[in-house]
Amino acid sequence: MRKKDFPIFETYNGAYLDTAATAQRAAPVIEAMAGFMTTMNAPIHRGLYPLAEQATAAFEGVRKSVAEFIGVQDQNEVVFTRNTTEALNVMSQSFAELYLGEGDEILVTRMEHHANFVPWLEMTRRTGATLVIAELTEDGRLDMDDFKKKLTPKTKFVGVVHVSNVLGTVNPITEIGALLRDHDAFYLVDAAQSVAHIPIDVKEIGCDALVFSGHKLYGPTGSGVLWAKMELLEAIPPFMTGGHMIDTVTDTEATWGPIPRKFEAGSPDSISIIGLGAALEYVRGIGWDTLMEHEQQLVASALDQFSELASVKVYGPSEKDHSGVIAFSIEGIHPHDVASLLAEEGVALRAGHHCAQPLHRSLGVPATARISFGVYSDDEDLDRFFTALKDRVLPLAQ
């Protein structure tokens, strides 16, 4: 669809089917980052000279773009982080310090990435709170009956992944938001796997916080976002202290600067944030209807072709609720061997537990192979994958 927009495909001739791990960088992203470095490289928020003011304006312009991209009115509620994992650690540690204690409960789903599982598990050890896990249906959807049963007056925090990075499941995050409207629990959505594929409006979702990474969005690594409601950001303590985030420092105490400075200690990765801004504009320029139609066509084609392969087991829901991530296993062949054999045929995909060991344990397998799509994925990539799968891998199956 869009390979011409991605310089890497001028030299890489394989089928890149690992976008869920990291997306390739669009040309406008690379150009924006190079432009920043060559025309306005200076410390942001610190210099009073024109070059620094220009750099600061560009940096803060991205904050405004992020706010618009996810339906936020106050751009100061947007906090820049290095990635989704850092954003979730900011939230878990700061939230736990203020709100969690003995007897409280944190509700997550079985399909969470480790980034939205391990930090909360660690907070239970520190606070005495309990991690509660909502289970899945047999076809890989969130079991809403189980979710509702486990949402109790003890629940202080709810963390839900929008799209599973293993199952491709699109969770009913707006339904969950409505369910939590009158419940005394904070609600966070992990949008790392959805932000480049599905339009997001935090007001419509009804969440209190949302996180995502730039490198899943055709932007650079080193860029991430934590959005949270202002009252929450004002209440919780900073995750990291040091330069820039302070207001005053004396020999005996320090006070914090305003939001979002309070959560952005030290010199930021300005270049990556500029790249993130360009990535947002790139996705916006394609249009959601075009993006979603393209991805659903690939998902439908892939699931249809998988259905013809008796020795392949595909995990996750049907086409209707399946995003562009498909995990599978082959009887008698380890996923790592699948990935290695396909790599020899020029097909790049992921094999392992995909940072979701609790999910894989519930599926009864230690690991899966996974293909995932981006705007540059096309039918030729799928043809190459299925041809290699049939010729090199399936003949070895038991």
What is the C-alpha to C-alpha distance for residues 373 and 381, in angstroms, rounded to an integer?
A: 10
Give residue 70's pLDDT: 98
Helix (H, G, I), strand (E, B) or coil at 303: helix
355 catalytic? Reply is: yes
Helices (H), the chain: 27-39, 50-69, 84-99, 118-127, 144-150, 173-179, 202-205, 230-235, 270-286, 288-306, 335-343, 357-363, 379-388
Mean predicted lDDT score pLDDT of the chain = 96
> 232-236 contacts: CB < 8 A, separation 24 or more?
232/95, 232/186, 232/208, 233/77, 233/79, 233/259, 233/260, 233/262, 233/263, 234/259, 235/98, 236/91, 236/94, 236/95, 236/97, 236/98, 236/99
Q: Does position 91 have pLDDT exceeding 80, yes or no?
A: yes
Average pLDDT score over residue span 71-80 = 98
How large a percentage of the chain has pLDDT more than 90?
94
What is the C-alpha to C-alpha distance for residues 87 and 211, in angstroms, rounded to an integer?
A: 6
- Token pair of 359 as six digits: 């999910």
The answer as to CATH 1.10.150.120 being correct for domain 28-284 is no
Residue 345's pLDDT band (cuts 50, 70, 90):
very high
Give residue 318's pLDDT: 82
Q: Does position 57 have pLDDT exceeding 80, yes or no?
A: yes
Helix (H, G, I), strand (E, B) or coil at 332: coil
Q: Does position 373 have pLDDT exceeding 70, yes or no?
A: yes
CB contact set of 95 (below 8 Å; sequence gap of 6+): 123, 157, 186, 232, 236
Model pLDDT for residues 108-153, shown as the tens digit of each residue = 999 999 999 999 999 999 999 999 999 999 999 999 999 999 999 9
Place of tokens 């020029």: 346
- CB atoms closer than 10 angstroms to residue 310: 9
Angle between helix 27-39 and helix 270-286 axes, rounded to 10 deg: 140
Q: Does position 1 have pLDDT exceeding 70, yes or no?
A: no
What is the C-alpha to C-alpha distance for residues 337 and 197, in angstroms, rounded to an integer?
A: 29
The catalytic residue among 179, 246, 309, 355 is 355
Query: pTM (2 decimals)?
Result: 0.96
What is the C-alpha to C-alpha distance for residues 235 and 95, in angstroms, rounded to an integer?
A: 9
Q: What is the fold of 3-24+288-396?
A: Aspartate Aminotransferase, domain 1 (3.90.1150)
Helix (H, G, I), strand (E, B) or coil at 297: helix
Average pLDDT score over residue span 215-225 = 97
Average pLDDT score over residue span 18-22 = 98
Return the minimum-mean-pLDDT range out of 56-60, 93-97, 351-355: 93-97
Q: Does position 354 have pLDDT exceeding 80, yes or no?
A: yes
156-189 per-residue burial string, b: 16 or more CB within 10 A, e: under 16: bbbbbbbbbbbbbbbbbbeebbebbeeeebbbbb
* Domain spans in the chain, listed from the N-terminal domain onward: 3-24+288-396, 28-284
Give residue 398's pLDDT: 62
Cα angle: 209, vertex 133, 314; to 5 degrees: 95
